[in-house]
Every structure is written in C-alpha cells, then in structure tokens.
Structure 1
Amino acid sequence: MKIILKYILTNIQERKVRTAVMLLSILLSAMLLFVSFSIGVSYESAQRKMARGMAGSATVSVQNVTGGIYAGDIPTLPVIQTKAGILEGTSLYHENGYYETVDLLAADIDALNQINKPRLRNGGEITNFVGYQIILPDRFTSKYGIEKGDTITLQIGGSPIDFEVLEIAAYDTVFLRHTRGATALLPLETLKEILGQDNGYSEILIEAAGHTTTNDLISELRNALDTEKYRVSEIVNEMQIAADARQKSMPFFLISFFSLTMSIFIIYSSYKVITLDRLPVIGTFRSIGATKKAVTRILLLESLFYGCIGGLIGIPVGIFVLKAILQGMGKTLSQGIEIPVIISLPGAFLSFTVAVTVSLLSAWLPVPQGKPSADKRCCFRHSGGTSYPAPADGWNWNHSICHISIFAAPCIGKYALSCRRLFSAGTYCGDNPCNTDFYQYFKRSF
C-alpha cells in the first residue's frame, strides 16, 4: 500500500500543471454547487424575515371589507393564541428638499408585545407612550441626524404635525419594511384622533395556538366569520417565498451544471492521456500478478484524491464567495435587509459527494479502455529484455498501403499487358516517342 501511495503522490508531483487543472475544475464545481444550495436557503430566510416584519409570530390577518374591524369581532376559538389590532396611516417627511414616505402604525402595546415586540436600541421597554410622541427606526434617524428627544414634523392629510421622538428602535419587527421609506410607531389614541377613525382597527393579526397550522386556523376563522364581510388571509405566503428563492438560485445551478460538464471533460481527457503515459507501469503491475480490478483501483485511487481535495477546498472557498454574493444582493434590496449567511449542511455534503463522484466516474470511463491494449503493448515492447515495435491500435497506414498494393497489382499487370499488345500492333498512340518510352518501361517490368 505504501508503494502504491508513493506512486500516486509521485505522479501528482511530476504532473503539476495537469494536477492543478483537474483540482481547479473539481474545486469550481464543488464551490458553485455549494453556493447554489446555500444562496437559496439564505435568501429564503431573508424573505421570510421581511414577510413577517410587522406580523411577527402572527400568521393570519383578518380585515373588514367595508371598514374598520374591532377585536371583539373575532370569536374566541381554541385555535387562537393571541390577537392584536393594528391601525395604519400614512404621512410625508420633508428634509432639505427631499421627501420620504413614513407609514404610521399604532396598536395596543401589550398585545403588540405578545406577537411582535419592538426592540429599542437601548434595550429598554416602551413606557409612558402617550400624546404626540413617536418611535422611529435607527436607520431613519441616522439618515437625517435625528436623536432621542428631538421634534420632527410630519405631513398628515396635508397638515403639518409635530412629534417628540420618545425612543429610537432597531430596524426590525414592526419597523421592517417591504418597500422604501420608514415606519413610525404612534400611541393608538393619538393616531385615532389624527385620522379621525373611531370604528376599530385596520386589521387584526392572529397567532395560532399550539401546533395549529396556518391552514387549519384560516379554515376555522372562515367557518366562524361571515366571509362576505371579513377577509381572512395568510400573512406569509410560504410558496411564494420558496419560489423567489428558487428563482435566485437557478442561475447558480445552471452555472454549476456547465462547470460539472467541464470537469467531466477535463478529467476524462486527462485520464485518457494518463492511461497512455503509464502503459509500461500498468504492464509491470500485470506482470507481477495484479488483476485488472487491482490496476483499475490504483488509477481510480488517484482520481479519488483529486475529488476529495477539490471538494474539501471548494466548500470553504464557497463560503467566502457566498458572503460576497449575499452582501451584493443585500445592497440591491429596496428594503435594505442584510441577507444572513446560512450554510446548508445537506448542500455541503451533497457538493462534496458530487465532486468525488464526478471525479471517479470521469476517470473510470477511460481506464478500462486502456488496460487491454496496455497488456499487449508492454508484452511486445519488453519481452525478454528486447524492445519490439508495439502493434498499433486503430488505423495503420503501412498495413493499408500494403493491402491496397496486393489487390491493385493484378489490375495494373493486366492493364500493362494490354498496352504491350497494342504497342506491338502499332495501334496505340502512333509513333510518339513518349509512348515508346512508356512501352519500353512496362516491357522491362513485365
């Protein structure tokens, strides 16, 4: 075994360029396949985080088709864990000639904390939240240089209204957005007064109890409510999120496919050359008792080395590539969400397995083709210490010319004899000296 390993390592060291090309092809294939799996999982996680945004742990939304809805309109059901009413409004913020939309949000703080508790930047709790106070996300305040205790003016319904910044919150939970702009949290009674709305909330968010699924919760609510008056809908569309994630990862899967095809071609071509180069060594292995299976295993062991090394290096490289890609994708999102890097363990295992499998299969195809001719060539070339020409495989021009000459000689002879008779009779080309020389040539030959 030590001799075989030493033989393999020696071959790898001697053929540095070939080794580098094969390792690079397998590394790229494993890296791209790993990135394809992980980028889908990471993007799906970010999309789910954005979709949940305001809803938090709530999975179902109930709205009144004609107007506002009260929390009492939702019956008490065993499938309901928590319900929170949300009141929404819109405003406009103006700063140095720049206008930005600020969506207004109000809810009962205790109910909101149960499904999607706002996270303040200082880690504290929301207390004494009354009157014309406002809580803004840190992304908005840092953009315009707003600090806690400052006063900002918002245009609501065409009228400017001043608010005191009570707290600055982190850009998540209810402040996470699906579009450009910002979301501000106001006291419930204050927003009702500003909007002149006293007929309930804009919608009711409902969290399922225990192990109740979203579909079961929707079914129970639709059976308990008047479907013509109330609209029951799922907050997070899991199917759409999965479809978006597949759409993002599809280009990388296509690139991985072409990379795998390239790797197969490179390894297959390399092993055709490797098999021909090592014919004497293969013959030596056979001469000392090695079977065809043993010779095949020796050659495939080298390809296994390429597959393992390329797969193991490709996954760490893929992690760095994944971080760079997700960082660029996060900058292009209008929501400004930072996409988390999620390493898919099944994807990493599958990428390594594919790298090893492709390396073995690509090398296994040309190896059996070279072994039979290898035995013959080595026996012919090295029999008894004397070197003999090897029987050529495929088309042999020397043999072909010899065969053509054997079959063409009778025809040429017959044609020459007929020419001799014609010259003797004086009926072939007259007295032309060229024809006479031609005749003398064939007369001497036949």
Structure 2
Amino acid sequence: MIAAAWDRLRLFNIGELFRHPGRTVLSTAVMAVSAALLVAVLSISGSVTGSVDRLTLGLAGDAALEVTGITDAGFEQSMLPAIAATPGVATAVPMLRATLGTGADRAMLIGADQTIAALGSDLAGPMAEYTSKLISTPKGVLVGAAMGYQEGDSIPIGWGTATVAAVLPAGTVDRLNSGHVVAAPLPLAQLLTDKVDKLDSVQIIAKPGTDIGKLRTALTEAVDGRAVVAEPSLRTAQAGGAIQIMRYSTLMSSAAALIVSAFLIYNAMSMAVAQRRPTLSLLRAIGGKRAPMVRDLLVEAALLGLIGGIIGSAIGVFMGRFSIDRLPAAIVQSVEARTEFLVPDYAIPAAIAACVLATVAAAGIAARQVYKVAPVEALAPVEAGDSAADSRLLRWAALVGGLGLGALAIVLAALDLGRISLASISLSLTATVMLCFAATGPIVRAAAGIARWFGAPGALGATTLERAPRRVWATAMTVMIGVAAVVALGGASSNMVDSATQSFENLDDTDLYVSPSPAEQFPTGPVLPADLAAKVAAVPGVERVQPAQMAFATIGSGRVMLQGYQPRADESRLGAVTPDVIAKMARGEGVVITRDVARSMKLTAGDEITMPTPSGERTVPVLQVIPYFTAVSGVVMMSLDQMREWYQRPGETILSVQFAPGADPQAVQAAVRAAVPEAIHVDRGADMLAAISSSVEQGSAMSTMILWIVVLVATVALLNTLMLSVLERRRELGVLRAMGTNRKFLLRSVLAEAAGIGIVGAVIGLVIGAAVQYLATVAIGHAMTIDIVYQASPILVVYGVVALVLALLGSIPPAVRAARMPIIAALAVD
C-alpha cells in the first residue's frame, strides 16, 4: 500500500512539479524568502542572548547562584565574609567584571582570586596554569589570543595600563566573549578600574543537598538589599529585554511575508488543480477516491514548503550574519558580552516548520475544490462549479470573526499593555482578511468593474475574473497585505523615528557634551576623571558645566537606566519633567520614572518606589511618570547627589558644556578638546542628536527592508494568478485568435485583469494601511513608552502606488504569453 501511494505521488504530483519548473521555482522561492527572513530575525535576537548565555555559563561553571552588583559600580568587598558564611554556601568566588573598549576592540576584564579553581569554569584552568607568570610579571594579566596581543605587550585598562604576562591559546576561552578576554588577579583588576575594595559578582557554589530556594532567601537577607541574588541566567534574561522591541517589529514584518507567501501557495495549488483536471477526472472515473488525491496535493505542498524552508534557512544564516554587525550601538552597549553570531537551535526548525504549515494550510483550502467536485462535474472547470461558491454560513462566520478580531485589536492598542499591545497590528490585518473574505462578492465585482474601464479587452478580462471569484479574492489579498503592510508598518516606523528624534531635540540646546562614550551610545561609564569638570569649566569661552551620571541598574528581575542630574529650573535635558517636579527632584524629595517602569512595578505618581542600592534599600516617592523613548530599558531619574550617595558611584559620566554669549564655538570646542584626555569624546549637541536619530532609524531599517520584500512576493503572486488564468483559457484564447482576434487585444485583456485585481487590492490596502498605521502608532507608543504623533503623510500614497506598480509588473509575463500563444497549440489542448 505504501509502494502504491509512493508511485501515485511520484507520477501525479512530483512529476507535475518537474513538468512545470517555472511555477515550482517561484513557489519554492517565495517560501525560501519567508524562511530566510524568519531565520535572520531569530538569529539576530538569539545571537545577543546566546552570547551572554555562553559568557555566563563559561564563567559560572558549577555555580548555582550569583550575587551581582546593582550597577556597574558593584558592591563593597566587606560583604564577602557574610556571603561566604551563609548556611549552604560551599564556596563563594569573588569576581570583578568590566567592559573594555568598543566595537571591534570590545573585550571583558575579569578579576578573580584563587577560589576560582573551585568553579570548574573555562577560566579556572588557565589562571591556575599561568599563576607563576601572573605573580612574576608586574601588573601582569592574561589575554585571549583573539585580541592580537603578544607576551610582554602593554595593554590599556581603565585609566592605566597592564602587561601581558601570557596569551591564552585559541580554543581555551572561546566561550568567554569569543576569546576577547583579559584575566587578572582580583587586587590588580580593582586597582586598574578604580574599584578598590569593590566586587561586581560573587559566584555561589552550594553544598550538596542544599535547597537552592532557601539558600537564595538566606543570601538575600545577608546582602540586605545592597546586591542582587539570582541564578546566573538572569543576565541572559536581561539581555533578551534589550533586543525585544527589534525582534517584535521584524517578526511582524516576517509574518506578513509568510502570510503573503501562503496566499501565493494557494494560487499555485489552484493552478495545479486547474491544469490536472483531465487527470483527476480520469482517476475519479475509474474509481479513484477523493481523499488520496487531496492528501497527495497536501504532500506536494509540504514538499514545496520543506525545500523552500531548507534553502531559505541557509540564506537566512547569511542575512543574519550580515545584520548582526549592524545592530544599533545602544543595543550592543546595553549587553555585557561581546555579541557574536549564533544561530539558535530552534531557528532553522521553526522556520522550516512555519513554511511547511503555511503551504499545507494554503494547499488544503485549494484542495477543497477537488474534494467537493462530484464525478460528473470533474470535467468542468472547478471555479465554474457550485463548489466555487462558499457557503453563506462560512461568510457570516468570517464577518463575525473579523469584527471580533478588529474590536480586540482596537482594545489591545488602546490599553497600555506595553509590548503586548503590538499584537494589535497582526490581529487587525487578520481581521481585515476575514472581513474581505466575507465581502468576496463585492471585491470581485469591483475588480471586474475596473477591468471594464479598458473597453472590449477589459470586458473579456472582467468575465474571466467573475468566473474565478476565490482566486481573485486570494490575489487581491496578497496585493492588499503588501500595500497595507508597507503603509501601516512603514508609516508607523516613520512616525516613531520622528517622535523619538523630537523627544531628544533638547540635546541640541547644549553646545558640547564630554563623555567617555561615543555619541551613539548611552554615557553609562566609566566615570570621568575627578578633575575633568574643573578643567573644562576653566576653558575660556565656557560659561557653565553641568555634570550628570548614567548607569544600568537591576530592579527586581529587570534592568533600568539610572540618570542623575543637578536639576535647574531651565534644565533642558529632562524633557517632559515639569518645572515643579524638577525643583522637588533637586531637593532630593523623590524620583521620576518612565512609563514602562511604572507599568512593570504597578506604580503611579505619588506612590513610593523601593530600589535596592549598594547602600541598602531606598524608598522614595514617585514625583512624575513621563513618556521617554526606552527601546533598551526603562529610566529612573534622580538628583546627581542622591545617585552618587545611594549607588556609591562618585563623579559623573557626562558633562554638558554651555558656551558664553559671543564665544567662538569652533575655538571653544577646540580648546575643550585640548583640555581633556584623548580617549574622552567631545561632541556637539547637534552631533549627539544626529547619532541618536541614526540609531533609531537603524533599528527600524531591517523591518522596512522586509516590508518591501513582502511587496515583491505580492508581485510574484499576481504573476502566478494571471498565468493560471491564461493556462485555464488556452483553448478559449486559441478560439479567439482563430476568429481573428489580434494579439494586442489579448495582451490588453490580461493587463485589464491585472489592473482590476491590483487597483482593488491597493485601494483596500491603502485604506486599511492608514487605519492600521494609527493602531500601530498607538501600540508602538505603548511599547516604546513614548507619545508618538500619528501623521498620515502623503508619502504613504506614494508607497502604495509604488507597491501597486511592482505588483502590476507581475502581469507582464502572462500577458505576453497570452498574446504569443500559437493558435494550433491552444486549440489542441483538449
């Protein structure tokens, strides 16, 4: 029985794929595109979290828990004895961890003592092996071979230098930041990073049989709110939060491509059914059952999805590798580990499974045409039979379901549910498809009416459209989704970039910024030299220098960015904070938080927030909840003095410099540049604003690229549909040619069909796109915790027209084929 099934599949299905290579290649190609996009998106997010996970596992070894600093300032080393004495702790391994350099030079400094041998981590062996060299070399450190240093070289660390005592061979520390690692004795690392008597981490090895939950509770009591106790995997979870927004936006665009591809597969299977009617009719006449025929079609579709998924997955790996080096600097900076390209284990199977499911689902709908055709009707065109008319019950169900999903999408977008609100975008597009299915009749009549605008050729094209309502609907939906996705998501992304840029426009009010970080990164550290503010203030032409400090901190299981200012009544850097709140914050009466922090902690203005700090837990009032562009993390603003005291982090990480009236900007900037160390960045306010805007645009660039790929897929869908129309009517077209109809008439007829379908799909897409853009703007505003201004720019109409033109290009090959079809060959089909 299996052999018979295989022979039937080989003869009537796989053989058909080889007999129609054009359709097979196109169908496989669009599924490959969808798979490539999915693998690329999953690889980008997986690379960020996977890099942190590799580093965490490589350092943690056998550790069950980790005590970490609340900020990169760490915590007092004096807490170590209490941690080590906690019941259930076998060994407490102290560490200092710091990021060195940026970009391609980004590395990690790890300071540890002899207790690291108990961890069994990737660093334990090398540090034990090279102990003698570390001891005998003044300020000696170990470096990974990937960093390119030689033994005896000098290496800059913090504001000082160290000497390379030994180079760790390639392969020994590959899991640690891809080998970009510097290992030093703990006291030396503390000295070089100006963290004497400070720790960043204590790895906890539990005694055998210890209840880890109880141990964590005991350690939490021991640190008394001055550090965070959690599983080492907390770092991976926090890294995932930094990439979530980008992952969601690109996944939605990739999902749109997959939906359009599914519609194309539906058309391809409809084409297969139409071309195989004689074979199917013969099989039915000799007693063949319908169920095996349908199953064979589904297997055929699954093969297309499988092959396309495999090819696309390979392409997606290269796309992801290309994209990982172009991640926004702010995202890369917010993650501790050096981001290396990793393809998650689930990425390729998930992409292939999505392609197979999409093709089988789409083919199942098309295969119903065969399953419902009675034997006596099998020789008639399937679309012309009663089976082409969907039941009234199904249309009513689609109407009710579409209205329900549309209402749910509106509710999700209106409620401030954070990133969950983004689901309203996909729901609204799904609701549109269902409502359009309920309105198949009006859509087909509208397409036919537009086709009739083109005179007699259009009338012939309109008749063809009316004979194949389901195929017309499916193709109009592919055009609609392509246009709607570009208009909605492209417009919403543009609104987001404009609003985010506008929210940072106050940066341009400051003449210069002095920071250890490049303009495109958050100035979270290291802390500037203690005398730098005074040196800059003494530069001729400088009227005022305002210090500020920023740092990532852990609150609960999430990360926030702390921002400490010396608030002034005219402080422009605080954006939406009201003047009365600025005055209260200056007096240390409370903090300002962003919407996502308020949402996650269920706080409103006037409530009290409890924050763990290295100096113990601090409970203060929430003075105001503000909108703030927080693509990476939420923000807590406070006075600079409070931040210095609470988080034991003296100094500042950025200086705002205001020029004196009448001063020469270029001369003053040059003087400031000469007064600060070479490693410190000096940027104009306009440059800072441009860098932030560029990072925001870069984050949405991949999503925009995917949307235009969706439009190209819609072009292929229209080509497939019109080619099916031509193939179904070969005899009819042959008769028309034999009666004297010229080729130009047939060419215009097929183009009229394309215009009818394309214009209807594009108009629906523009209307739906504008509506979904509004929902997307509101939803993205909730996700980004910023007030995004909805602007239905006229450029969106241009987007729609371009998408329509690209889709109509798909009508040219079938139109040319219809015009050039030989009369004798066409008449000989049947």
- The TM-score by the shorter chain falls in which range? 0.5 to 0.7
Which residue of the other structure, out of 121, 128, 131, is the alignment partner of 1:126?
A: 131
The Cα of 1:232 is off from its aligned counterpart by 4.4
* CA distance in structure 1 between the partners assigned to 2:35 and 2:75 by the alignment: 56
Query: Structure 1 residues 288 and 69, CA, compared in 2 at 3 Å: closer, same or farther?
Result: same
Query: Structure 1 residues 149 and 258, CA, compared in 2 at 3 Å: closer, same or farther?
Result: same
Q: Which residue of 2 aligns with 1:111?
A: 115
Give the 3-state SS of the residue equivalent to 2:202 in structure 1. strand
* CA distance in structure 1 between the partners assigned to 2:156 and 2:210 by the alignment: 44
- Contact 2:29–2:308, Cα closer than 8 Å, also in 1: yes
Q: Which residue of 2 aligns with 1:207?
A: 204
Q: Which residue of 2 aligns with 1:6?
A: 11
Deviates more, 1:260-269 or 1:307-316: 307-316
Q: Which residue of 2 aligns with 1:281?
A: 279
- Contact 2:96–2:189, Cα closer than 8 Å, also in 1: no
Superposed, 1:283-322 pairs within 5 Å as 283-322=281-320
* Aligned residue type for 2:362: S
* CA distance in structure 1 between the partners assigned to 2:360 and 2:195 by the alignment: 73
Q: Which residue of 2 aligns with 1:436?
A: none
* CA distance in structure 2 between the partners assigned to 1:120 and 1:281 by the alignment: 70
Give the 3-state SS of the residue equivalent to 1:74 in structure 2. helix
* CA distance in structure 2 between the partners assigned to 1:264 and 1:216 by the alignment: 51
Q: Which residue of 2 aligns with 1:15?
A: 20
Q: Are 1:79 and 2:101 counterparts?
A: no
The Cα of 1:189 is off from its aligned counterpart by 7.7
* CA distance in structure 2 between the partners assigned to 1:202 and 1:55 by the alignment: 15
1:326-370: per-residue Cα shift (whole Å, max 9, x none)? Answer: 4655999457825252441x4444433332232222122123335
* Aligned residue type for 2:276: R
Superposed, 1:235-274 pairs within 5 Å as 236-244=234-242, 246-274=244-272
TM-score using structure 1 length:
0.62
Q: Are 1:61 and 2:67 counterparts?
A: yes
Q: RMSD between aligned alpha carbons? A: 5.1
1:121-164: per-residue Cα shift (whole Å, max 9, x none)? Answer: 9994221516732215358974xxx64235678896xxxx7755
- Contact 1:119–1:170, Cα closer than 8 Å, also in 2: no
Give the 3-state SS of the residue equivalent to 1:6 in structure 2. helix
Q: Which residue of 1 aligns with 2:356?
A: 356
The Cα of 1:287 is off from its aligned counterpart by 1.5
1:70-126: per-residue Cα shift (whole Å, max 9, x none)? Answer: 64333534431321345799999xxxxxxx999987543x11343456479999422
* Aligned residue type for 1:368: R
* Aligned residue type for 1:12: L
Aligned residues: 366
1:206-256: per-residue Cα shift (whole Å, max 9, x none)? Answer: 313157686543311233x3627x534446444323434544533442233
Query: Structure 1 residues 260 and 196, CA, compared in 2 at 3 Å: closer, same or farther?
Result: closer
Query: Structure 1 residues 72 and 333, CA, compared in 2 at 3 Å: closer, same or farther?
Result: closer
1:1-56: per-residue Cα shift (whole Å, max 9, x none)? Answer: 43552233442233222111111122233343344445444432202345678766
The Cα of 1:265 is off from its aligned counterpart by 0.9
- Contact 1:120–1:168, Cα closer than 8 Å, also in 2: no
Q: Which residue of 2 aligns with 1:341?
A: 342
Superposed, 1:382-397 pairs within 5 Å as none
Superposed, 1:47-58 pairs within 5 Å as 47-50=52-55, 58=63
* CA distance in structure 2 between the partners assigned to 1:194 and 1:272 by the alignment: 68
* CA distance in structure 2 between the partners assigned to 1:103 and 1:378 by the alignment: 70
The Cα of 1:261 is off from its aligned counterpart by 0.8
The Cα of 1:183 is off from its aligned counterpart by 5.7
Query: Structure 1 residues 362 and 168, CA, compared in 2 at 3 Å: closer, same or farther?
Result: same
* CA distance in structure 1 between the partners assigned to 2:189 and 2:37 by the alignment: 53
* CA distance in structure 2 between the partners assigned to 1:313 and 1:190 by the alignment: 48
Q: Are 1:188 and 2:184 counterparts?
A: no
- Flag the structure with more relative contact order, 1 or 2, with Cα contacts below 8 A and sequence separation at least 6: 1
Q: Which residue of 2 aligns with 1:43?
A: 48
Q: Are 1:221 and 2:219 counterparts?
A: yes
Give the 3-state SS of the residue equivalent to 2:131 in structure 1. coil
* CA distance in structure 2 between the partners assigned to 1:241 and 1:194 by the alignment: 24
Give the 3-state SS of the residue equivalent to 1:337 in structure 2. coil
Query: Structure 1 residues 121 and 202, CA, compared in 2 at 3 Å: closer, same or farther?
Result: closer
Query: Structure 1 residues 170 and 251, CA, compared in 2 at 3 Å: closer, same or farther?
Result: farther
Which residue of the other structure, out of 132, 146, 151, is the alignment partner of 1:148?
A: 151
The Cα of 1:378 is off from its aligned counterpart by 5.6
- Contact 1:82–1:208, Cα closer than 8 Å, also in 2: yes
Query: Structure 1 residues 348 and 90, CA, compared in 2 at 3 Å: closer, same or farther?
Result: closer
Query: Structure 1 residues 317 and 374, CA, compared in 2 at 3 Å: closer, same or farther?
Result: farther
The Cα of 1:377 is off from its aligned counterpart by 5.2
* CA distance in structure 1 between the partners assigned to 2:106 and 2:26 by the alignment: 54
* CA distance in structure 1 between the partners assigned to 2:356 and 2:169 by the alignment: 46
* CA distance in structure 2 between the partners assigned to 1:194 and 1:267 by the alignment: 59
* CA distance in structure 2 between the partners assigned to 1:361 and 1:348 by the alignment: 20
The Cα of 1:187 is off from its aligned counterpart by 6.7
* CA distance in structure 2 between the partners assigned to 1:308 and 1:371 by the alignment: 24
- Contact 1:89–1:105, Cα closer than 8 Å, also in 2: yes
* Aligned residue type for 2:48: Y
Highest Rg: 1 or 2? 1
* Aligned residue type for 2:367: V
TM-score using structure 2 length:
0.36
- Contact 2:47–2:341, Cα closer than 8 Å, also in 1: yes
- Contact 2:52–2:236, Cα closer than 8 Å, also in 1: no
* CA distance in structure 1 between the partners assigned to 2:189 and 2:136 by the alignment: 7
- Contact 1:311–1:351, Cα closer than 8 Å, also in 2: yes
Q: Are 1:27 and 2:32 counterparts?
A: yes
Q: Are 1:231 and 2:236 counterparts?
A: no
- Contact 1:121–1:138, Cα closer than 8 Å, also in 2: no
Q: Which residue of 2 aligns with 1:137?
A: 143
The Cα of 1:309 is off from its aligned counterpart by 2.8
The Cα of 1:321 is off from its aligned counterpart by 3.9
* CA distance in structure 2 between the partners assigned to 1:37 and 1:47 by the alignment: 16
Query: Structure 1 residues 50 and 190, CA, compared in 2 at 3 Å: closer, same or farther?
Result: closer
Query: Structure 1 residues 211 and 352, CA, compared in 2 at 3 Å: closer, same or farther?
Result: farther
Query: Structure 1 residues 112 and 391, CA, compared in 2 at 3 Å: closer, same or farther?
Result: closer
Give the 3-state SS of the residue equivalent to 1:206 in structure 2. strand
- Contact 1:299–1:367, Cα closer than 8 Å, also in 2: yes
